[in-house]
Amino acid sequence: MSEPERSEASDGERGRQARGSTDRSKTEAAVLEVRDLVVTYGKRVAVDKLSLSVAAGEIVGLLGPNGAGKSTALAAVAGAVAPASGSIAIGGTDLAGDPLAARARTGFADQPPSLYDSFTVAEHLEFVAEARGKPDPAAQRALLEELGLGSVAERTCRELSFGMRQRVGLAAALAGGVDVVLLDETLNGLDPRAAVAAREVLTRAAAGGAAIVLSTHLLGVAERLCRRIAIMDRGALVVDMSGAELEALIASGAGAIEELYLANVSDAPA
């Protein structure tokens, strides 16, 4: 296929997949509901009319090149960045109308993870859970053990390696039994054992009803963990694929997610 033909086919595929996400959002009860979200930095549009509905139990892999708007979108959903327009609802609670209630139901691990460096790991988790109104020391300790952090629970966060800080960020995002979990490249930098543990913890959280959105550049992680793939480019959602369509794509052979990504992402920098 010639380059112009490939580009034309990609544009058609973008439209079809984006329409598919809108159709699904009308039929599923969403825990996270983002509608026409726009975030700007000065004159630059970082997130361009993003609409995304995520149901309880879904793990969505959010892919896209550097500068696509993934981190900004997650920060806006978490209440850390003010949008220019659009709406965000967490479990039916409007973020703009009742930000404290919405944020109490949302766990966000940013990049690099924002930790209280003078707190021990256990203190950090306890503080986050109490801020959400759901302190549970036994559950917090169990979560640390599941993520391989039990042995460093009494170390201060400033003493931790990058990979351990990533795991503490993940634990904090999950603490307090939140409804929505937002992870910004949180599985990057983990050793193989820690990565397996993190995937298992997230799978259990989804089985318990959490809606999870995970941004990553690790396509293998997305393929293993996520049953829905969303791709952003230049601030817009260009692919939203799940169910039998995604299963068939993955079954088609190694590198299928990479091919999907490359076919729908612009070569030019944002």
How far apart are alpha carbons 102 and 88 in whole angstroms? 9
Whole-number pLDDT of residue 270: 62
128 within some domain: no
Kindly report, residue by residue over 118-143, the tens digit of the pLDDT: 999 999 999 999 999 988 999 999 99
Q: Per residue in 52-91, pLDDT tens?
A: 999 999 999 999 999 999 999 999 999 999 999 999 999 9
CATH code of the domain covering residue 55 = 3.40.50.300
Cβ atoms of 53 and 35 within 8 Å: the answer is no
266: pLDDT confidence band, cut at 50, 70 and 90?
confident
- Count the neighbouring beta carbons within 10 Å of the beta carbon of residue 189: 17
Asked if the structure places residue 156 within a domain, the reply is no
State residue 26's pLDDT score.
Answer: 41
| Model confidence pLDDT, tens digit, residues 167-176 | 999 999 999 9
Q: Considering the chain, what is the average pLDDT of its residues?
A: 90
In a domain, 208, yes or no: yes
pLDDT digits (tens, 9 = 90+) for 195-236: 999 999 999 999 999 999 999 999 999 999 999 999 999 999
Place of tokens 């612009």: 266
- One DSSP character per residue, 52-82 reads EEEETT-EEEEE--TTSSHHHHHHHHTTSS-
In the predicted model, is pLDDT for residue 23 greater than 70? no
Task: Count how many domains the chain has.
Answer: 1
Domain ranges, residue 21: 3-105+179-264
Residue 166 lies in a domain: no
Task: Give the pLDDT band (50/70/90) at residue 269.
Answer: low
Report the predicted TM-score, pTM, of the whole model to 2 decimal places. Answer: 0.88
In a domain, 123, yes or no: no
Whether residue 249 is contained in a domain is answered as yes
Secondary structure class of 260 (helix, strand, coil):
helix
Tell whether 26 is covered by a domain: yes
233 has which bridge partners? 236
Q: Would residue 225 count as lying in a domain?
A: yes
CA nearest neighbour of 185 among 221, 210, 228: 221
95: pLDDT strictly greater than 80: yes
